[in-house]
Each structure stands twice: as C-alpha cells, then as structure tokens.
Amino acid sequence: MRCGIARWALVLPAVLGAWPAGAVSLVAELTGARPFTSLALMAELELWEDRTFLSGCFASTRSAPLELTGTGDAIDIPRSNQLCLGLDHGLDNHFRLSASASLAPRAITRVDLLSSPLLVFRSENASAGVTLGASYDSAGLEEVQWGVDVGLSLTGYDLSHEWITALRTRRFPAVLGTARPSAGVIWAFGDTQLQLRASYTFYSKDPLVVGAVSDQELLALDEILRRLIQASQIYGLNEQYAAFLGAANRLMAADAVSGLASAPVWFEVRPSVQHRFAGWLRGQLGYSFDRYVPTQGYAHLLSTRWTVIFSDHVRTWVAAAAQLDVPGSMRPKLQGILTFGVEVTF
C-alpha cells in the first residue's frame, strides 16, 4: 500500500505539470499493545520547495477478540483500515494551511448467536471525514521561537446493523456525525521545546446509544428467539460497537504517544516537552488526559519517545507509554503501548 501511495504522489504533479518533483519522505510505524496492533504508512511529496506538500497515508488496526463474560465465547473485531490524502501549503515563512480527507472502508462483523432457530447479528462500520488546519510559526526570527495552530475535523460514521433469521432480515440503520475543533501552542528555547494541545468533540447524537443494540430492537424479534439470547451476548455486541467507535476517530494516531481510546472521547489535553541532547538524539516526555463522554470515565497516558537521526535522509524512533483507563462503572485498567517507527527521505 505504501508503494501505491508513493506512486500516485509522484504521478499527480507530473500530470498537472505545475511543479517539478521534489523530495519524497516515506514513514512506517508499528504499534503493539495487548488489546490491539496497528500499522501506519505515509508518503509525502514536496511539490513546491519548502512550500507545498502532498501526502497520502494508510493505517490498519487489529483489535483482540472481545470475551463475553460468563459464556466462554468471544466476538472477533474485524480489522479497521483507513486511507487519507492531504495537501499542506505555506503562504509565507509564517502561515501554513492544510486540508485532508480520510476514508475508513466498510468493516463487517458477523456473530452467529443461534444455530437452531437461526439468528445472526451483522454489523457494518465505516467512516469518512475531512480535516482543515491553519498554523503560524515565528520562523526563527525571535530568540524564543513559538507557534500556534488550530484545526477542525468533521467525521461521519455508518454504524448500522441487522438481525438475520431464517424467515427475514431486520435492519437498523444508524448514522453519527462528529466535529472536533483542536488547538495547539509550541515554544522553543534553544534545544528545548514545550508543547500544549487540546481538543473537544461534539457528537450529533449520544454515541453510547446510536448504533448499539436497544430494548426496542429486542422487542421486534420473535419472543422465542429473545428468550434464547443471553444478556451477556447483548452486552458483548454493544462492547464490539463501543470498541469500534472509541478507536475509529483516532485510527491514524493509534500509537504510544497518542494512546488508544477505550470509549468515545469528549475532550483531551496533552502537554509535552522535547529536548535535543545531541545532533543525532532527541527525547520527548508527554502526558495526556482523555475525558470520555459522561458515565464512561477518563484515562491518563504517560509517554516517552526517543528519536535517533542517522543522517539527513534516515531517522528512527521508539516510543513507550503506560495508559490507565478509569471507566465509570468498572475497575481501572492499566496497559502498556510500544511503537517503532522509521522515516526515509530521498
């Protein structure tokens, strides 16, 4: 997939004929934790030297099966994939504008609840969105360098599902929209850099209800079937839905620095400090506080990232984090996250 993105990034300016080919950067990042693994690939092409950049990306996240309490069964979570294409342009030495579009193709989960009589639960999860951003950089004209940026992400989700029996199929459509404004500020003092970022997410509907299995749905099923379905199975289906929604909006940021949300995020605050110890070594320490939507609790994330610069063309990094989720009605859960990455420019 990385080769495909790079190929289109090289072909597009040639077709347009407006800019000569510039530098190309390829980034690969692999993240692992107990509940998920994630692979992210990105290609960036310089269309206009130090001014305009075209980027494409692909990310894929695989979640561990969800165990159903009291039954010994588990629900497989399908792999979530995401594609994105973006353009970044510098108006001058200070101001930059950016825009990107993303698409998560439809992922389907099928759960065979009963074999006789037949009862199958089938869910469809997909999303599409756009992100707009603007930033200002003092561009090194002051002794203390600084910069600010603002952004807005708009995302739509298809969270429909259906119940399949031997006689008919009952479909329950569900659509959710989100708007996430964000802002950041950065200060640089010599070899040290301080950064603070924050975001807030608005939901068009209650994300804990839309797309989940409701009592009204169960009433629509045949009474005999309803008596055969265990409460833990319904709980597991809703957990499957919540796991998708919690991760989908941050698929491209499922790494040790960003963490992985276990529920829909309401707002987030993330301060960090980075220091250049040598020309080839940089270290970063960060903290994130995620407040989930009401009744879902919150999370703390403490992370560190170390970057080794081999040359102007090759750099690699490793990041590690400890994330503590404190759900509203469940016991706190601590997990570790590890990320490896490499960037090559030519």
Delimit the domains of the chain by residue range.
2-345
- 270 pairs with which residues across the strands? 197
- 324 pairs with which residues across the strands? 300, 334
Q: Identify the pLDDT of residue 259.
A: 85
Q: Regarding predicted confidence, which is higher, 289 or 189?
A: 289
Distance CA 153, CA 85 (A): 14
Of the ranges 91-95, 181-185, 280-284, which one carries the lowest mean pLDDT score?
A: 91-95
Closest CA to 191 of 272, 275, 273, 282: 275
The token duo for 50 is: 């130090």
Supply the pTM of this predicted model.
0.84
User: What is the DSSP annotation of 191-233?
Assistant: TEEEEEEEEE-EESS-TTTTTS--HHHHHHS-HHHHHHS-HHH
Amino acid (one-letter) located at 133: G
Banded model confidence at residue 283, pLDDT cuts 50, 70, 90: very high
In CATH terms, the fold of domain 2-345 is Porin (2.40.160)
Q: What confidence tens digit (pLDDT) does each residue in 58-109 have?
A: 998 887 776 655 556 667 777 888 999 999 999 988 899 999 999 999 888 8
Distance CA 114, CA 117 (A): 6
Contact partners, residue 191, CB within 8 Å, separation at least 6: 275, 276, 277
The token duo for 15 is: 């077709």
Closest CA to 100 of 59, 158, 48, 148: 59
User: Looking at the predicted structure, is the pLDDT value of residue 299 above 80?
Assistant: yes
User: What is the DSSP annotation of 6-69?
Assistant: HHHHHHHHHHH-SS----EEEEEEEEEETTEEEEEEEEEEEEETTTEEEEEEEEEEEEPPEEPT
Q: What confidence tens digit (pLDDT) does each residue in 29-72 have?
A: 999 988 788 899 999 999 988 899 999 999 988 877 766 555 56
Mean pLDDT of the chain: 83
User: What is the DSSP annotation of 228-273?
Assistant: HS-HHHHHHHHHHHHHHHHHHTTGGG-STTT---SS-EEEEEEEEE
Q: Identify the pLDDT of residue 17.
A: 40
Q: Identify the pLDDT of residue 2.
A: 37
Contact partners, residue 177, CB within 8 Å, separation at least 6: 154, 155, 156, 157, 203, 204, 205
Q: Identify the pLDDT of residue 196.
A: 97
